[in-house]
Amino acid sequence: MKKKIIASLLVGSIAALSASEFSAQADKDRKAMQEYFEKKFADRKTASTYFPYTPKEELDKNFKWGIKGDEFRLGSYAFNKSGREQYEEIVEMPPYEDAIDEGKEIYENSKAIKKCFPDPAIAGEYPKFIKDKGVVTLTGAINNCLKSNGEKTWNSKKGKMAKLEAYFAAASKEKGKKIHIVIDSKEAQEAYNRGKKEYYSQRGYLKLSCASCHVQGAGQRVRNEYMSPLFGQVTHFPVYRLKWEGLGTLERRLEGCNKDQGENPHKPESKWMNELAYFMAYMSNGMPVDGPDVRK
Amino acid sequence: MKKIILTLAAVSVSFATASLLEEAAKLDVKKVCDVKANGLEKVIATAEKFNPEAIKLGVEFKRLGVKNREYIKYTKEAIKAKKKETVIKYKSKGKEKTKKFATDYAAWRACTFAIRGLQQKVEAEKTWRLAVPGDGFKY
C-alpha cells in the first residue's frame, strides 16, 4: 500500500515537474512583460525615456503613474486620466448589460451548449491546447460544440457568439475567476512559441508588428487614442466597442488589428489566430477575468 | 509507398517555398518593380510570380480594402485592354466597391507589395526577438 502511494506521488510530481518545464519560458516572458510595463508606467521622472514623442504637458496632466499588476486589465484607461473619466461615465450604465442577459438566455435554451459547458464560469480557461486539435479558443470551443451536436456554427466575431461569451465572462468575473492558461506539453509549448513569434514579427505594408503598438507603442497616441498594453489585454473580452456600436469577440478585434497592419487578415479560428491568442492570453495569466467591458 | 510519395511532395513544396523566399529576399524592389525600366507586362508578371507565395505564407498585403491579388487581377486586365486606368472591383463589409488607379502605378504597387511581403517574412526571422522584453528588447 505504502509502495503504491509513494509510486503514485512520484508519478504525480514528475508530471507536475515536466508540465512546469513546458511553461517555464512562457512564465519568464510574462514576468518580463509585467516588469517592462510596470517600469514604463512607474514614474513621471523616467517617462521621457519611454515616451520621447509625447508632449511634456500631456505626460504631466493626463497620465497616471505608478500602475501595477492587475490595474493593467483596464487597458489604456489604467493610465489615461481623461479616457478613464469617460469610461467610468459609460460603465455607469454599461451598454453590454442586455447582451449578458441575452447570452444567458441563449445558454439556458441550448441543450448542446449547456451539455458542453455545464459551468459557464470558464472564460479564463481559454484558449486551451487540445491534443489532435491544437489551440482552441472559447469561440472555437463553442462552435465545435455546436458542430458536434449537429447544429449550425455561429459567426465567430459578433452576434450570438459575442453574447454567449459575454455571459460566460460575466459569470467568471462574478466568481472571481482568473485567466488560467495552461502549457503542459511540448506541442502546446510549440504553439505558444509560434504565436509569440507572430506577435513580434513585423508585417503588412505598414511593417508593424502587434508589439509595435501594444508593447513598445503602448501608451503612445495614434490620433486621439492611446494604445493599450498587451499585458492584461485579453482579460476584458468580449468588448462593446463604440466604433462597432456593438459587442465583439477577441477574434473580431484581432482581425481588425491584422487588417490595420496592412495585411489580408487571417481568419478567426484559423491556426494562426488561435496561436496568437494563446500567446496573448498567457501574457495575462493570473489576472482577473474582467469582461465584458467597453472600449472606444 | 504512399508515405514516400507524400513525403517527397512535402519536401519539394518546402524547397519551392524556400527558393522563392530566398529569391525575393535578394531582389531590389525599386529596380524590379520599376515600370519605366521593365515595362508593365514584366512588372505585373513579377507580382504574379511572388504573390501566390505571399498568400500561401499568410503575408499577403491589403491596402484600403484591396487585396494584392485584386491589384494584380485588374491591372492585368487593364494592360491587356491597353487602358491607362485600372479599375479595381472589391468587396468591403459585404458591399461592392471600386477604386481607380493609373495602370503603371497599380502595377508598381502590386509588384512591390508581392515582394515586400516575402522580404519582411525573411527579415522577421532575424528581427522579431529584438522586440521581446526579457530577450532582445533593451530599455
C-alpha span between B41 and B104 (Å, rounded): 10
Q: Tell me the residue length of chain A.
A: 296
Task: Tell me how far apart the alpha carbons of residues A86 and A39 are, in angstroms, rounded to a whole number.
Answer: 26
Query: In whole angstroms, what is the distance from residue A104 CA to residue A110 CA?
Result: 10
* Residue A285 identity: N
Q: Who's near B7: CB < 8 A, 6+ residues apart? A: none
Task: Compare all CA atoms of chain B with the CA of A33 and give the residue at the minimum distance.
Answer: B133
Cα A57 to the center of its chain, rounded Å: 32
pLDDT in tens, B91-101: 988 899 999 99
- Three-class SS state of A224: coil
Contacts of B137 in chain A (CB under 8 A): 36, 215-216
ipTM of the complex in this document? 0.89
Instruction: Please judge whether A49 and B55 are an interchain contact, meaning their C-beta atoms are less than 8 angstroms apart.
Output: no
Q: Which residues in chain B have Cβ-Cβ distances shorter than 8 Å to A262?
A: 61-63
**pLDDT value for B77:** 97
Nearest to B61 among A50, A205, A266 (CB): A205
pLDDT over 60 at B4, yes or no: no
At B92 the pLDDT is: 87
CB-based contact A197 B131, cutoff 8 Å: no
Q: Are A257 and B54 in contact (CB under 8 A)?
A: no
For residue B1, pLDDT over 60 is answered with: no
In order of start, what are the domains of chain A with their CATH numbers?
26-94+186-295 (1.10.760.10), 97-174 (1.10.760.10)
Number of H helices and E strands in chain B, helices first, is: 6, 4
Catalytic residue among A116, A145, A210, A257: A257
B62 to A265: CB separation less than 8 angstroms, yes or no: yes
Is some CB atom of chain B closer than 8 A to the CB atom of A207? yes
A257 a catalytic residue: yes
Q: Report CA-CA distances (Å) from B52 to A241, B66, B106, B111, B115.
A: 35, 16, 17, 12, 11
Which of B120, B121, B127 to mutate: most A Cβ within 10 Å? B120
SS3 A130: strand
**What pLDDT shows up at residue B73?**
98
pLDDT over 60 at B80, yes or no: yes
Using CB atoms within 10 Å of the CB of residue B52, give its burial: 0 to 12 exposed, 13 to 18 middle, 19+ buried. Answer: middle
C-alpha cell at B63: 491596402
Query: Cβ separation of A50 and B59 shorter than 8 Å?
Result: no
Would the CB atoms of A264 and B55 count as touching at under 8 Å?
yes
pTM, two decimal places: 0.92
Give the pLDDT confidence score for residue A20 in this predicted structure. Answer: 86
All residues of chain A having their beta carbon less than 8 Å from the beta carbon of residue B61 are: 204-205, 262-264
Mutate to test the interface with B, among A35, A157, A201 (most CBs of B within 10 A): A201
Interchain contact, A262 vs B63, CB within 8 Å: yes
Return the pLDDT at B18. Answer: 72
pLDDT, mean of residues B117-123: 97
Query: Which residues of chain A fall short of a pLDDT of 50?
Result: none
Q: Residue B93: its pLDDT value, please?
A: 82
Contact residues, chain A, for B116 at CB < 8 Å: 205
Q: What pLDDT score does A139 carry?
A: 98
Q: Is the pLDDT of residue B7 over 90?
A: no
How much is the mean pLDDT over chain B?
91
* Interface touch A32/B133, C-beta < 8 Å: yes
CA distance A255 to A120: 26
Task: Tell me which of A208, A263, A279 to substitute to probe the interface with B (most B C-beta atoms closer than 10 Å).
Answer: A263
Strand A239-241 versus strand A293-295 pairing type: parallel
A101/B contact by beta carbon, under 8 A: no
* A36/B139 Cβ within 8 A: yes
What is the rounded distance in angstroms from the CA atom of residue B79 to the CA atom of residue B44? 9
CA distances from A230 to A84, A235, A236, A261 (A): 18, 10, 12, 16
B122 in reach of chain A (CB within 8 A)? no
pLDDT, tens digit (0-9, with 9 covering 90-100), for A110-122? 999 999 999 999 9
Dihedral sign computed on CA atoms, order A185, A189, A192, A198:
negative
